[in-house]
Amino acid sequence: MKDTHFYLSLFIVFFIIGSLPVLEKVTLGRLSPPQLAFLRGLSQTFFYGVLLYASGGLFELKTAPAKFVIFGLLQGVATAVMLYFYFSAMQHGEASTVKTLTSASPMLTYLLAIFFLKEPFSLERSIGILLVIAGIYLLMR
């Protein structure tokens, strides 16, 4: 059974992910995608810097295997590229359309997890993916 922290975390993520595109769309009326991505990255760096410093995790990072540090840095580059194109799409399209289409990304995660992480195939999840595709189709009409 999941604990309270799990459900609180999900609620916070749901609220932020659901409402942030509206603020992004408004902000992109005055800032370019690279400017917004830079400001977002700067605030995230500050937030995580304080969090890691306060928890001692910043010092533990020195002993992390180089392979995983490189993986972390590459994820940062991938996120930067993704944010640029996400903000570009948001700037030129409707927030609801962009968010609907990008919310389909868990389908790719599911397939990649099966092939690379050897997670089990599930008929129920596969049906769920088909329902998501149908839902996206209906929302985009």
Judgement on whether residues 71 and 132 belong to the same structural domain of the protein: no
In whole angstroms, what is the distance from residue 126 CA to residue 14 CA? 23
First to last CA, the chain: 39
**Within a domain: residue 120?**
yes
Structural domain count of the chain: 2
Tell me: the pLDDT tens digits for 43-81? 999 999 999 999 989 888 889 999 999 999 999 999 999
CA neighbours closer than 13 Å in the CB half-sphere of residue 42: 6
Judgement on whether residues 88 and 114 belong to the same structural domain of the protein: no
Predicted TM-score of the model (pTM):
0.80
Judgement on whether residues 135 and 73 belong to the same structural domain of the protein: no
Q: What is the extent of the structural domain holding 50?
A: 4-92
Q: If you average pLDDT over residues 24-42, what whole number do you get?
A: 96
CA neighbours closer than 13 Å in the CB half-sphere of residue 114: 11
Judgement on whether residues 77 and 109 belong to the same structural domain of the protein: no
In whole angstroms, what is the distance from residue 81 CA to residue 71 CA? 15
